Structure 1
Amino acid sequence: MPQIITAPKTVTVPKTERPKLYKVILLNDDFTPRDFVVSV
């Protein structure tokens, strides 16, 4: 009689990392127009 060996069925789910947050620097000046800042 042949021996039957079965392995347990496991499913591995890859762990995803959260994206890194942006570093934002705010500079309040009176010389740069708002339209320029929004377009950049």
Structure 2
Amino acid sequence: MEMIRLKNSVGLYPRWYKIVKNRFITVMMTNNIKLGK
């Protein structure tokens, strides 16, 4: 579901794709660090 929404959002708002992607990666990286520690 989320992936479909993300793809649709990319098509509708291409300008925000990089910002959302970068924020998502940053959050995932932070979560991985927390889980690692």
Fold agreement, TM-score > 0.5 = no
Question: Looking at CA atoms only, which structure, 1 or 2, has the larger radius of gyration?
Answer: 1
Larger helix share, 1 or 2? 2
TM-score (norm 2): 0.20
TM-score (norm 1): 0.20
